[in-house]
Structure 1
């Protein structure tokens, strides 16, 4: 993985952790594709910067704090795979029974594809 692409990913994670939606969007390709997989099932997909921004803003309201920590990088073909430790504190109650103030801790990975110096694809797996 190039140092340039690694830095783009690190800047995205930093913006995510700071709830900096505009900072996240500045790193996105206009046609960004985002997918979230939970337990092997895709539960969320957005296409384009507008849909991604709307999802990011909605998601930010769900947490009082959140932190993704990169634990490992690897490059596979034209993609970068990043192992992530995730920790967050909920700001709202969720339909699955989790309550505001509850702490979430997950391990997962994110797969990024970068084109023209912008993030074209993000796939999150947990």
Structure 2
């Protein structure tokens, strides 16, 4: 069941369906993005997650996450994920509009019941 929730969340992300993404998270969800380039972000709650999803979605003309591996158990999950996208605008990390970005990273998920309560992406 947990793996299905994560797969549905990633599918909604790939389809840019923010409402569907948010159906899989708690109202007080914690989302973290930690990058080895020194950029990191931490936000709490569905409204903040919606805001960031809208902004980040517009930063790419194309984006896709591919689930490489997934391990679940005891209300937690770890996944290896590959992200590929084409920048629609110049990004703060130096990527220019039109350039393709391909990154492999790990995501960690925590659940409260059948909803994601914490998502931490590392790349």
Query: What TM-score do the two structures reach when normalised by structure 1?
Result: 0.91
Matches within 5 A, 1:53-64: 53-64=50-61
Matches within 5 A, 1:21-100: 21-39=18-36, 43-75=40-72, 77-100=74-97
CA contact (8 A) 2:60 2:85 kept: yes
Name the Cα RMSD after superposition.
1.5
**What CA distance in whole angstroms lies between the structure 2 residues aligned with 1:24 and 1:107?**
21
Q: Is there any run of 5+ residues in structure 2 with no aligned partner, and where?
A: none
1:76 is displaced (CA, Å) by 5.8
Aligned CA distance change for structure 1 residues 42 and 111 (closer, same or farther; 3 Å): farther
**What CA distance in whole angstroms lies between the structure 2 residues aligned with 1:70 and 1:78?**
19
CA contact (8 A) 1:35 1:42 kept: no
Aligned CA distance change for structure 1 residues 59 and 40 (closer, same or farther; 3 Å): closer
Q: Is there any run of 5+ residues in structure 1 with no aligned partner, and where?
A: none
CA contact (8 A) 1:84 1:107 kept: yes
1:41 is displaced (CA, Å) by 5.2
1:90 is displaced (CA, Å) by 0.5
1:79 is displaced (CA, Å) by 1.4
> Residue by residue, what CA displacement relative to the aligned partner does 1:26-62 show, whole Å, maximum 9, x if unpaired?
1110110000111185610110111111111111010
Query: What TM-score do the two structures reach when normalised by structure 2?
Result: 0.93
